[in-house]
Homo-oligomer: A and B are copies of this chain.
Amino acid sequence: MFSLKSKLSEKGLKITPQRLSILDAIYNINHPTADDIIKHIRQKHSNIAIGTVYKVLETFVQKGLIKRITTEKDVIRYDGLLRHHHHLYSTDTVLIKDYIDEELDKILVGYFKKKQIHGFEIEELTLQIKGKFNN
Contact assessment for A74 and B75 in the assembled complex, using a CB-CB cutoff below 8 Å: yes
Contact assessment for A127 and B99 in the assembled complex, using a CB-CB cutoff below 8 Å: no
Binds B, one of A9-17, A43-51, A114-122: A114-122
A125 is an interface residue with CB less than 8 A from chain B:
yes
How many copies of this kind of chain does the complex include? 2
A68: which of B72, B99, B126 is its contact (CB, 8 Å)? B72
Nearest residue (CB) in B for A104 is: B111
**A123/B128 contact (C-beta < 8 A), A107-B111, A111-B104 known:** no
Nearest residue (CB) in B for A101 is: B115
- Shortest A112–chain B CB gap in Å is 8
In the complex, A97→B71 CA distance in Å? 17
Which B residues are in CB contact (< 8 Å) with A119? 133-135
Contact with B along A57-77 (1 / 0, CB 8 A): 000000000001111111110
Which B residues are in CB contact (< 8 Å) with A71? 70-71
Nearest first, the 9 closest Cβ-Cβ pairs linking A and B are A68-B72, A70-B70, A123-B131, A124-B130, A122-B131, A126-B128, A121-B132, A121-B131, A119-B134
